[in-house]
Structure 1
Amino acid sequence: MAAPRRDTRGIVDATELFAHVDFRRREPFPELSAALDQGRTRSPLRPYLEHYWLIDWDLARPYASHVVPHPSVNVVFQHFAGQEPFAEVAGVGLGLFTQKLAGRGRVCGIQFRPGGFRPFAPDRPVAAWTGRRVRFPDVWPDADPRAVLDPDDEDARVAALDAFLLSLGPRPDPQADLAAGLVDRIRTDRSIRRVADFARAEGVSVRLLQRLFAGYVGVGPKWVILRYRIHEALERAEGEGSVDWAALAADLGYADQAHLVRDFTSTVGVPPAVYAAGGR
């Protein structure tokens, strides 16, 4: 299986996060019987998922992590010191997400591909989850967070996440596949800058594109374009050396540097130059 992506896009001050917590990304396991019978080395869950993400921490002092969310739904199993384990569906986050960590704890998360969550919850559009965090059992009453969180063995936790998702019986949906492919194009193709041009290139109307994104991604195509721009600017700001912000703004499709600075500041909380200089 291909390894999960290794970039830090969306993580604010990734170096600081990794210094405080043990953070890993994992793939789902292939179904062994199916893999042996059919020669498959990929899990049947893989088309729906970006990856699993696992975090453990044991902190002497509290620490706050910050993430600029992807256009993805997450299902998150969580155990914080002094609290009962719980799980929740986290719809696409519209703003900066901050999580305070203290003592000892563990999180096991599932990041779905944009479009990948709807087959697991087909009864409502993904936009209905956007900006919301809905705890179990309101979503799936029979799910047991401890089954995922209790094992100390990491492979056992991954297997428990697999079992949880497979128990939901995701139904293949061509519209979900279409939405995932369109979002992936936006993520990888910098030339996509305007929704109208993108819709025209795909041979659909803007209204149809917006309806598809509302139903299967949870946010509109314009929001996705802007969010991936900020992710790239954030990653560049984390890198070594100085950044030519005017050139980066042009490269990302902004009309000028001021527009990049405005979007970055409103999303991350500080201007890009201040962030790059260590002013987190």
Structure 2
Amino acid sequence: MSSAPGHPEAIVRPTAAARAFEVERIAPREELAEFVDYHWLVRWSDQKPYQQQVVPQPRVHIAAEDGQLLVHGISRKPFYRTLVGTGHVLGAAFHAGGFRSLTRSTVAAISGTVQPGRHLLAGDDRPVAEQILASTDTAEMVEAFERYILLTRPVPDPTGREITDLVHEAQCRRDIVRADQLAAHAGCSLRTLQRLFAEYVGIGPKWVIQRFRILDATAAAHSGHPIDWSALAHQLGFSDQAHLTRVFTLIVGTPPAAYQRANDTL
């Protein structure tokens, strides 16, 4: 099994998180690589309850937890998970345009929801989830998970690939700070882009672009280097430092400079 890079900048307060749990990211098998970006496996052991926050990204996740496979649509709200005792959770993080191939329906319909796989996908998910949660072997867990996903018979979708590529552009290019810029890059109208994002991603391009710019800010805060927050706000397309601070605080819960200091001293 090969490893996958994932997106560690989405883990809030990673210094403390590294002491509380381990994260392994695993590349999917070839048949699923167009749809699934990576699998993630979180393990924790013998500890007091620990609450971890993760910044939601523009992607659907399926996770084996609480005896079932849960489909997590994109949420505008902060995501928290409390870890207790000893356990693990295995998840699949889908490409931005990849999940629609499993359901053949608009991804916006599940945004802001968490639903059992049996309500959306390929039959009863509970036996697979129980097998995953009872195992300690990573390869065995991933194999069972992928067999279930393949039961949906996902079909390659050229439009889904294009949307995944567009979202990747929005992630990697800091000069893209507005939805109309991404539409121009895609060679379509803003209205068309908004319709395609609702259908395939589950949320609008404006939200996607701003979320990536906030993740750029969290990555800067995690870097351990001094940050000129005013200059960074300008680079990321915010009107000024106060604008970046408001949005960052709304998503992460702490102003960026204070967040950096807290993470550095943990």
The interval holding the TM-score normalised by the smaller chain is: over 0.9
1:165 Cα deviation (Å)?
1.6
Q: Is the 8 A contact 1:20 1:59 kept in 2?
A: no
2:204 maps to 220
Matched, 1:135 2:116: yes
1:2 Cα deviation (Å)?
7.0
State the alpha-carbon separation in 1 of the partners of residues 261 and 175 from structure 2: 29
Q: Which runs of 5+ in 1 are unaligned?
A: 30-42, 80-84
TM-score, normalised by the number of residues in structure 1 = 0.88
State the alpha-carbon separation in 1 of the partners of residues 230 and 63 from structure 2: 38
**Map of 1:182-197 to 2, 5 A cutoff?**
182-197=166-181
Residue identity in the other structure for 1:208:
T
Residue identity in the other structure for 1:103:
G
1:196 Cα deviation (Å)?
1.6
State the alpha-carbon separation in 2 of the partners of residues 22 and 178 from structure 1: 33
1:71 maps to 58
1:166 maps to 150
State the alpha-carbon separation in 1 of the partners of residues 99 and 117 from structure 2: 16
1:268 maps to 252
1:13 maps to 13
Q: Which runs of 5+ in 2 are unaligned?
A: none
2:242 maps to 258
State the alpha-carbon separation in 2 of the partners of residues 110 and 232 from structure 1: 23
1:111 maps to 93
Matched, 1:179 2:160: no
State the alpha-carbon separation in 2 of the partners of residues 3 and 189 from structure 1: 25
The verdict on how the C-alpha distance between 1:102 and 1:3 changes in structure 2, with shifts beyond 3 A counting, is closer
Residue identity in the other structure for 2:98:
G
State the alpha-carbon separation in 2 of the partners of residues 195 and 222 from structure 1: 5
1:14 Cα deviation (Å)?
1.3
1:150 Cα deviation (Å)?
2.2
State the alpha-carbon separation in 2 of the partners of residues 168 and 17 from structure 1: 34
Q: Is the 8 A contact 1:250 1:257 kept in 2?
A: yes
TM-score, normalised by the number of residues in structure 2 = 0.93
Question: How many residues align structurally?
Answer: 261
**Map of 1:226-241 to 2, 5 A cutoff?**
226-241=210-225
The 3-state SS of whatever aligns with 1:260 is: helix
1:142 Cα deviation (Å)?
2.6
Q: Is the 8 A contact 1:28 1:159 kept in 2?
A: no
Q: Say what the alpha-carbon RMSD is for the aligned residues.
A: 1.7
The verdict on how the C-alpha distance between 1:164 and 1:277 changes in structure 2, with shifts beyond 3 A counting, is same
State the alpha-carbon separation in 1 of the partners of residues 182 and 71 from structure 2: 30
1:201 Cα deviation (Å)?
3.0
